[in-house]
Amino acid sequence: MSAAIESHRPLHYGPRRHIAAIRERLDALNFDRFEVVPQAPCLGGEVRGVDLSKPMDAALAADIERALVEYKVLFFRDQKISQADHAAFAAQFGELEVHPFLPEGASPEVIRFAKDEEVVGVENNWHSDVSWRQVPSLGSVLRAHEVPGVGGDTLWTDMEAVYDGLSDEIKKEIDGRVAIHDFVHTFGLAMSEEDRAEKRKEFPPAHHPLVRTHPVSGRKCLYVNTIFTSHIDGLPDDESRDLLARLYQEVEIPEYQVRFRWEKDSVAFWDNRSTQHYASSDYWPRERVMERITIIGDTPR
């Protein structure tokens, strides 16, 4: 057998059996004031019966948060909301973040992603938003202003299912280990050396566990991503690269994913503590305009 073949993870045929328990847990959920229609076995639910342009009481917000923790990403269709509505909804779940590197919309909390023939989409890598922060985000609320007729979908993967699907051997290998997350390999590329050094003082590398525990559900998930994780603390460079590469392969397994086809006025609200996402960049040169508001979370434990 060639070395190239030996280096791949073992081939997997048949069902990933642990998904059944996830699906059964989701099937048992009920919500009094809205319906959630599952979009994939592991994660993703379309919420029906909620108008995001209307004020939300504490009980409704609590139920939406419960649905978020369980489904990990919630989808809302046909939401003709203002930017103020967008911000008010997000603020129900925590303090809003101001991103230091991405372009602002009409207010500092709003990130505007306007893509066209001149500005191409570059978010097509699996990642967890702002994991380079000492306190990464709880989640993000993204709404669609303009979308192409075909293409521009976003995919999410369930990092709890990814962790559960790891072999006992790999779980033992990563248990208790810490990874370094850093902005310099992405946002830092566009900066001068001096500017990068100044920003590094403000945002030093973050040390987060490879396996974090969700602060609400108590479930474990894998917490490394291709964009912001630079290396595993305490391992030689080659061992760190090899182990991260093995873990990144697991993120790409389709059975752990949901894919959302955007329409104008669609909204997605995802839990950044238990998911990664990937914005498909297959629509160039067509226009795609989105706005995102992110909610500050907690220190990974």
Mark whether 127 is an active-site residue.
Answer: yes
Q: Is 8 an annotated catalytic residue?
A: no
Contacts of residue 56, defined as CB under 8 A and 6 or more positions apart, other chains included, come to 64, 88, 89, 92
Residue 112 annotated to the active site: no
Q: In what order do the strands lie in the sheet with 73-76?
A: 35-38, 45-48, 73-76, 267-271, 137-146, 288-296, 110-115
273 in Cβ contact with 140 (< 8 Å): no
Cα 159 from chain centre: 9
Residue of 127, 133, 143, 212 marked active site: 127
Alpha carbons 267 and 179: distance in angstroms, whole number:
32
Catalytic residue (one of 86, 212, 231, 292): 292
Residue 11's Cα: distance from chain center in Å?
A: 26
Helices (H), 117-192: 159-164, 168-174
- Strand residue runs (E) in the chain: 35-38, 45-48, 73-76, 110-115, 137-146, 154-158, 178-181, 206-209, 211-213, 220-222, 229-232, 257-260, 267-271, 275-279, 288-296
Q: Which of 31, 109, 41, 101 is nearest to 255 (CA)?
A: 41
Residue 291, amino acid = E
> Of 85, 129, 158, 182, which one is the catalytic site residue?
129
Rounded Cα–Cα distance for residues 159 and 276 (Å): 7
Identify the bridge partners of residue 144 per DSSP, sorted by sequence position.
290
Among the options 133, 214, 231, 277, which is catalytic?
277
Q: Number of C-alpha atoms within 13 angstroms, CB side, residue 40?
A: 21
292 is catalytic: yes
Task: Determine the distance from the C-alpha atom of residue 76 to the mean position of all C-alpha atoms in its chain, rounded to a whole number.
Answer: 17
Report, as residue numbers or ranges, the catalytic residues: 127, 129, 277, 292
